[in-house]
Chain A
Amino acid sequence: MAHTGRTAGRLGEGDWDGKVSEIKKKIKSILPGRSCDLLQDTSHLPPEHSDVVIVGGGVLGLSVAYWLKKLESRRGAIRVLVVERDHTYSQASTGLSVGGICQQFSLPENIQLSLFSASFLRNINEYLAVVDAPPLDLRFSPSGYLLLASEKDAAAMESNVKVQRQVGAKISLMSPDQLRNKFPWINTEGVALASYGMEDEGWFDPWCLLQGLRRKVQSLGVLFCQGEVTRFVSSSQRMLTTDDKAVVLKRIHKVHVKMDCSLEYQPVECAIVVNAAGAWSAQIAALAGIGEGPPGTLQGTKLPVEPRKRYVYVWHCPQGPGLETPLVADTSGAYFRREGLGSNYLGGRSPTEQEEPDPANLEVDHDFFQDKVWPHLALRIPAFETLKVQSAWASYYDYNTFDQNGVVGPHPLVANMYFATGFSGHGLQQAPGVGRAVAEMILKGRFQTIDLSPFLFTRFYLGEKIQENNII
């Protein structure tokens, strides 16, 4: 009768030694100095709870995150998570942008937004100061925008400039003679009037702004996650309006964030979702159920933002316009500006509706430059008859097919989805102002500094277009 035999039999299990070694391994892993295998490593996943989830980590998303943290009532009051699908920003409109900022719009709201953004960029090292980090160098060129108008557009330009001056922008109007005097390299044939921005206009490095915002926002405690939003879990409530019509109000409770290159996802419980996904905002809106309904109703109104491809070409012209060249936008829609000190220029032109390229990829069509851009440039600037294209790239506009102006504010039915998208090519220059407006809307419930109520989603259902005449 051996003791070992009896104890083995009483426990009734075979592998006692195996169990002991497993328990020993678990205890060893808890001891300091060893990696703990008890809990799974979830450090790559986003947190399980967040007050605000911002879909899209471009300049608009980061601007909203920054202003949310800046305007919160108490330090650490709001937890913000920014979900960005591509941390290299390879297709994001921000990094590929030409980087211009101008106040020459026809809508007062657009002018106010650009003016505020100019003052934000001017004081960027006070807004985005991080202890022990070097100050940001935006490489801003304050050379201004020069818009040329033909006979038929001259009256509209004059009234636009009147509005711009009223709001506070410094724009000067020039006749063809004054234009020739100031910029002798322009051919003023067909130009009736020109408007020239004297201050707060020019171009800067958008990548620097993006990195500065990222750095500051991380230091303020905003969490970043690289992943894709695949699903919204929401609850609906059926309510009756005062006219006894049934309305279904939705509230998003969870956001499913799928990790890169894997099927793993994390449901993030949130209170508010901000749609700042740029050219892909319509997909995010569709996930939330916006636009699922009979057309012509509020439920059936989709978010009319789609990606549109735009080309930018860089060329070298040794006898081209000098250092004082502003960003010139021709009567035909072609535009160009100087790049650096070495007689390089970059520019492009917005295609007409029929010429719209396919936005499936970012391939560049060089024939577009030969046929549609160069002739207009060479007509306006005779020196550009001899030039050599060095390179080109393409990027997306988050194009609002309704009226080419941004969508800001909450959705009327999906109560906690806020939009900050659809700016059709001027999102970068209006990002600081729009970020502040959306943060005010979220935190205070209304727009306080700049009133962007004409930019709400409801205008798509009501059919109230706010047309902007000066789109480059």
Chain B
Amino acid sequence: MWDLVLEDRRINSLRLVAPMWNGRIRGIHRLGGAVAPEGNQKKKRTILQLLTNYFYDVEALRDYLLQREMYKVHEKNRSFTWLEKQHGPYGAGAFFILKQGGAVKFRDKEWIRPDKYGHFSQEFWNFCVVPVEAVDASDCDINYEGLDNLLLLKELQSLSLQRCSHVDDWCLSRLYPLADSLQELSLAGCPRVSERGLACLHHLRNLRRLDISDLPAVSNPGLTQILVEEMLPNCEVVGVDWAEGLKSGPEEQPQDTASPVPA
């Protein structure tokens, strides 16, 4: 195996298409360009990116690879409503979550999680008459279409969408059917959720605990926290520290240093 050095980055033959396989979050963004925060500081380019400026064929190839990435996410979020006839809405929704890699908890039962190979115990089909109480969809690729399946779980009480890279403001506007039962919601670490999506959560009047920590797309976390607390008076809003504006870590965007002023 021989190494190529290109702009002080060691590239071997496997790395030519590495950006696509390097984890789900960076897949589309790396092909798309400069969104990932670490990409902004160092202008590293792969061979394919360099050749795109010279050859139409390479540009078409990268376009195709990008489309294929997007197609994979759509495949994961295809509709499972056909399962509803046989196993009921709770079974269909739970199957969707388990297939994505998340965990479900039926009422009065234990959490069901898939193992690292994606296999999960098939006995949950027997639980399907019991409503699903909690869903942990952290690090899953759920997007707007996939919410069709999630919204089948009418009596959901706790939902965790931590670090879901495809959950954005549009998805949050779709959560209102769960307003009667949802009590706990966690959106920590979702890169596409901004304060505009948080504004739609006012429909969830039974919400008791909301986690909005570590949202990079929110422009002013301190002020957003105050406004969300005003919007949801019965809810405990967790996640943003008053000293947020004074800290600046390597992953956070530069914050306003003004302390929050009461509205």
Q: Which residues of chain A have a CB within 8 Å of any CB of chain B?
A: 122, 125-126, 129, 131-135, 139-144, 198-200, 202, 318-319, 322-324, 341-343
Contacts and interface: CB of A to CB of B under 8 A. Distances in A.
B224 interface: yes
B231 A323 contact: yes
19 contacts: A122-B170, A129-B67, A131-B52, A131-B62, A134-B32, A134-B35, A139-B194, A140-B169, A141-B169, A142-B170, A143-B199, A143-B200, A198-B173, A202-B196, A318-B263, A324-B231, A341-B219, A341-B224, A343-B263
B63 A131 contact: yes
Given A139-B194, A140-B196, A322-B231, 6 more contacts: A131-B63, A142-B170, A143-B196, A198-B173, A324-B202, A341-B223
Nearest to A129: B66
B176 A198 contact: yes
B228 interface: yes
Contact of A129 (B32, B35, B200): B32
Contacts of A323: 195, 198-199, 202, 227-228, 230-231
A323 B201 CA distance: 10
B87 to A, nearest CB: 26
Interface residues of B, number: 40
Given A142-B169, A322-B230, A341-B219, A134 B196 contact: no
B220 interface: yes
A144 B200 CA distance: 9
Interface string B11-43: 000000000000000001101111100000000
A198 B176 CA distance: 8
B170 A140 contact: yes
Majority secondary structure of chain B interface residues (helix, strand, loop or mixed): helix
Contacts of A202: 173, 196
A125 to B, nearest CB: 8
List the 7 shortest-distance A-B pairs measured between CB atoms, nearest first.
Answer: A142-B173, A324-B202, A141-B196, A323-B227, A323-B199, A131-B62, A132-B33
A341 B195 contact: yes
Interface of B: 28-29, 31-35, 49, 52, 59, 62-63, 66-67, 70, 144, 169-170, 172-174, 176, 194-200, 202-203, 219-220, 223-224, 227-228, 230-231, 263
A135 B32 contact: yes
A86 B63 CA distance: 32
B31 A199 contact: no
Contacts of A143: 196, 199-200
B227 A341 contact: yes
Contacts of B52: 131-132
A322 B63 CA distance: 42
A322 B199 CA distance: 9
B211 to A, nearest CB: 17
Contacts of B67: 129
Nearest to B219: A341
Contacts of A319: 263
Nearest to B71: A126
A117 B178 CA distance: 26
A168 B66 CA distance: 31
Nearest to B73: A126
Contacts of B63: 129, 131
A157 to B, nearest CB: 21
A342 B226 CA distance: 12
Contact of B33 (A133, A142, A341): A133
Given A141-B169, A142-B197, A132 B32 contact: yes
A142 B196 contact: yes
Nearest to A340: B219
B174 A199 contact: yes
A234 B93 CA distance: 62
B249 to A, nearest CB: 22
Contacts of A133: 32-33
Output the residue of A129, A142, A143, A342 with the most chain B CB within 10 A: A142
Contacts of B70: 126, 129
Nearest to A318: B263
Nearest to A181: B205
B144 A122 contact: yes
A202 B170 CA distance: 10
Nearest to B217: A137
Contacts of A342: 223
Nearest to A123: B144
B179 to A, nearest CB: 11
Contacts of B170: 122, 140, 142
Contacts of A199: 173-174
A199 B148 CA distance: 13
A132 B66 CA distance: 10
Contact of A142 (B35, B200, B231): B200
Contacts of B33: 132-135
A322 B62 contact: no
A337 to B, nearest CB: 11
Contacts of B172: 142
A131 B52 CA distance: 9
Contacts of B29: 135
Contacts of A122: 144, 170
B257 to A, nearest CB: 16
Contacts of A198: 173, 176, 203
Contacts of B66: 129, 131
A323 B223 CA distance: 11
Nearest to A126: B70
A126 B70 CA distance: 8
A141 B195 CA distance: 9
A172 to B, nearest CB: 9
Nearest to A133: B33
A114 to B, nearest CB: 15
Nearest to B35: A134
B200 A132 contact: no
Output the residue of B59, B70, B173, B230 with the most chain A CB within 10 A: B173
Nearest to B173: A142
A365 B197 CA distance: 34
